[in-house]
Amino acid sequence: MSFGDPNNPYGQPQGQGQQPGYGYPQQTPQGVPPQGYGYPAAPPVSPYGGGGYPGVPMDMPGNVKGARVMLWIMSAFNMIGGFAAIALSFSFTSELEKSGSLSGDEETFANLGQGIMIGAGVVSLIFAILGMVLAAKFKSGGSGVRIGSIVWASFAVLFSLFSLPLGIVSLALGVMIIVFLAKADGAAWFNRNKQQY
């Protein structure tokens, strides 16, 4: 039996006598992260699918999916409301003109009311388009989309307070969007691109 062969696994260890703690390394070499007992360190596991491996797509959390659906619904309602306000302003003014009983001051107030209705309708349409753009960017957007969606929902909640009791549904949906996007899994979803590298 030869102890001189360095590739012999049964040979006597190099150096004098047996090393203390033979079989267990005393400290890891520089540049190597600490490892568990006998197994290399695994990549971090992500609760959103993908397992933390670079290049593997993550699944959108349920809260974020729910907020996205609510954002689409609220945007659709705002778009319908905007078109309805504009159409209603023209029909109301045309009905007043048909009656022919408007004096000069009444006509001025009717035109002012029509302008306010058209303005409110245009603002509602712009708000709806912005909500749809934000909802469409949930899949690929970063933290700016999350913050923009929270701000959008905050304005929706504020405007819903002025239209109570009719605005109770949009008030509830807006609060739920804010809560869902403010949770930790919502933040992790929108910051996932930063964490990969």
pLDDT tens digits along 60-104: 899 999 999 999 999 999 999 999 999 998 887 777 677 666 677
Please name the residue ranges forming H helices in 45-103.
Answer: 62-99
pLDDT in the model for residue 109: 80
How many helices (H) and strands (E) in the chain?
6, 0
Q: What are phi and psi of 172, to 5 degrees?
A: -65, -45
pLDDT of residue 39: 54
- Tell me, yes or no, whether 78 lies in a domain: yes
CA dihedral 155, 135, 48, 192 (to 10 degrees): -80
C-alpha to C-alpha distance for 170 and 178, rounded to whole angstroms: 12
Question: What's the predicted TM-score (pTM) here?
Answer: 0.67
Q: Which residue has the higher pLDDT, 196 or 83?
A: 83
Average pLDDT over residues 40-66: 66
Taking the C-alpha atoms of residue 32 and residue 15, their distance in angstroms, rounded to an integer, is 24
Is the residue at 45 inside a domain?
Answer: no
Supply the mean pLDDT for the chain: 80
What is the residue range of 141's domain?
62-191
136-188, pLDDT tens digit by residue? 999 987 889 999 999 999 999 999 999 888 889 999 999 999 999 999 988 88
- In this prediction, residue 26 carries a pLDDT of 58
Q: Domain total for the chain?
A: 1
Q: Is the pLDDT of residue 30 over 90?
A: no
Amino acid 112: pLDDT: 87
Q: What pLDDT is recorded for position 197?
A: 44
What is the Cα–Cα distance from 178 to 117, expressed in whole angstroms?
29
Please determine, for residue 129, whether its predicted confidence score (pLDDT) is greater than 70. yes
Residue 43 inside a domain? The answer is no
| Confidence (pLDDT) at 123 | 96
- Domain assignment present for residue 10? The answer is no
Query: Does 18 reside within a domain?
Result: no
In a domain, 37, yes or no: no
Question: Does residue 90 form part of some domain?
Answer: yes
Q: Is residue 106 part of a domain?
A: yes
